[in-house]
Amino acid sequence: MKTIARVLLGLGFATAGVLHFTREPNFRKIVPHYLPFKKEIVYISGVMEIVMGIYLVFKKPSDCVKQLINLFLLGVFPANIYMARKELPLGDKQLRKSVLYGRLPLQFVLMKMIKSL
C-alpha cells in the first residue's frame, strides 16, 4: 500500500513540477509580493518538484529525503497563505475564500503522508 501511495505522490509532485513550466504565470501570481525573482522561483521550485516526484516514483525515500521534501513543502507554504489572503485564483478558477483557507491544512496532511512512506 505504501508503494502505491509513494508512486501517486511522486506522480503528483512531478505533474505539479511540469505545470510550473507550462503554466508559469499562474504560479508566479502566488509568489508573495515581497520576494524578488518570481519567475526564477517558480522554475526552481518546478525543477525541485519534478526531481522529488521522479525520486518517489522509483525509490523509497530515506528519512533524510523525507525531511528534505517536508522542508520544501514548508518553504512553499507561504505561497499558499498568500494565495488565500489575497484571494488569488487557482489557475483560471476563482475559489471561495473558505476553500482557499481550507486548502492550507492539506499541506500538513501531505507532510504527514511523506513522513509515513
Q: What's the per-residue H, E or C state across 58-73?
A: HCCCCHHHHHHHHHHH
Cβ atoms of residues 110 and 76 within 8 Å: no
Query: What are 16's three cell numbers?
Result: 505539479
Q: Confirm whether pTM is higher than 0.85.
A: yes
> Per residue in 3-60, pLDDT tens?
999 999 999 999 999 999 999 999 999 999 999 999 999 999 999 999 999 999 999 9
Band the pLDDT of 109: cuts 50, 70, 90: very high
For the residues 103-113, what does the mean pLDDT come to?
96
**Whether residue 70 has pLDDT greater than 90:** yes
Query: What are 67's three cell numbers?
Result: 525531511
**Relative orientation angle of helices 63-85 and 38-58, to the nearest 10 degrees:** 140
The Cβ-side half-sphere exposure at 11, using a 13 Å CA radius, reads: 5
Q: Share the mean pLDDT of the chain.
A: 95
Query: What are 87's three cell numbers?
Result: 484571494
Query: What are 31's three cell numbers?
Result: 509568489
Tell me how far apart the alpha carbons of residues 13 and 57 are, in angstroms, rounded to a whole number. 10
| pLDDT of 91 | 83
